[in-house]
Amino acid sequence: MTATAPSRPLADVQDEAGRLVGLTDDGGLVMRLIGGTAVAWHCHGEQPPALRRSYGDIDVVVRRADQRRLRSLLEASGYEPDQEFNAVHGARRLLYYDRPNGRQLDVFIGEFRMCHQLDLDGRLTLDPATLTPADLLLTKLQVVQVNAKDLTDAASLLLWHDLGEERSGDVIGTDRLTDVTSRDWGWFVTFTENLGRVERAAADMLAAPDADVVSTRAARIAEVVEQAPKTIRWKARARVGRRVPWYELPEEVAGERGR
C-alpha cells in the first residue's frame, strides 16, 4: 500500500479488507483478517454457487502490543469508534463503524473468543493477510450453536486446502488443530461435532466431486484429532463430561453472527 492510498473506507468490502491490511503493513503493525472476508481471501478457484455468500462487515485480529497504535490508525482512516463499547471491552475487543458504507469493523486483540478461547497473538505473521487456514477453521467451528454461514465458510476452507503441517504452506495445518483440541476437552467436543455438521451440510449443498473432497478432509481431520495424544488435563475434564458445560455463551455484538 502506498502513501497515496485512500484515507476513507472503500465501498467494496473485499477491497476495503485489503486496504486495511496494507495500511497496517505500512505502519509496522501486525493485523490480520478473520471471518468471512478472510475465508473469501482463501478461495483459490471458481467457487461453487452453494458456497458463495455476501459479507456485510469486516473482522480483524491485532497483536496486543499494537492495539493502541491501531486505534489511531483506524480513526485516521475513516473509522468511527464505539466509545462506550471500547471503554468497557477494549482490553480484548474494539468496535468501529464505517458510516458511509454502513459497515462494522470488529477488532479482536490477541485472541478470538466465542464459545472457546483461541490465542492468536503469536500467530499473526504466519500468513500475509489473514489467519492461517487452520486458525480460520477453528474460529468457524468453535461455536456450539454453529450457523449456516459458519458451516458454509468451513466447507469452503476444506474445499480449497489440502491437509498437512503448517510449515508446508497454504494448507490446513493438522498440527495446529491437534495442538488446540488435545489440550482442551471442550474445544475437542465442539470442534469435532461441528466437523460432522460440515460433512452433512456439504453432502446437501455440493455435488460430487466437491462434496467428496470436503467430506473426506473433514473425516480425516476428525480422525487425526481423535488419535492425537491428550494431556492429563484433557483426560480429567473428559471424565466429568457433559455434566458440566464445556463452553461459554458469547455476548453477541450487533451484526457479528452474519459475517
d(CA 21, CA 19): 6
Q: Are 32 and 61 in contact (CB under 8 A)?
A: yes
Per-residue model confidence (pLDDT) at position 6 = 56
pLDDT (tens digit, 9 = 90+) per residue, 128-137? 999 999 999 9
- For residues 30-57, give the mean pLDDT: 95
Phi, psi for residue 75 in degrees, rounded to 5: -65, -35
pLDDT given at position 31 = 95
- Please provide the distance, in angstroms rounded to a whole number, between the alpha carbons at the two ends of the chain: 25
CATH of 13-254, one of 3.30.70.100, 3.30.1330.80, 3.30.460.40, 3.40.50.12710: 3.30.460.40
Question: How is the chain split into domains, by residue range?
Answer: 13-254
The answer for residues whose C-beta is within 8 angstroms of residue 142's C-beta and 6 or more apart is 112, 114, 115, 116, 118, 187, 190, 191, 194
pLDDT in tens, 176-233: 999 999 999 999 999 999 999 999 999 999 999 999 999 999 999 999 999 999 999 9
Burial of 97 (0-12, 13-18, 19+ CB in 10 A): middle
Confidence of residue 251 (pLDDT cuts 50, 70, 90): confident
Q: Which three cell numbers stand for residue 172?
A: 490446513
- pLDDT tens digit string along 135-183? 999 999 999 999 999 999 999 999 999 999 999 889 999 999 999 999 9
Q: Locate cell 458463495: which residue?
A: 52
Query: Residue 242 has which C-alpha cell?
Result: 457433559
> What pLDDT is stored for residue 252 in this prediction?
64
Residue 255 has a pLDDT of 47
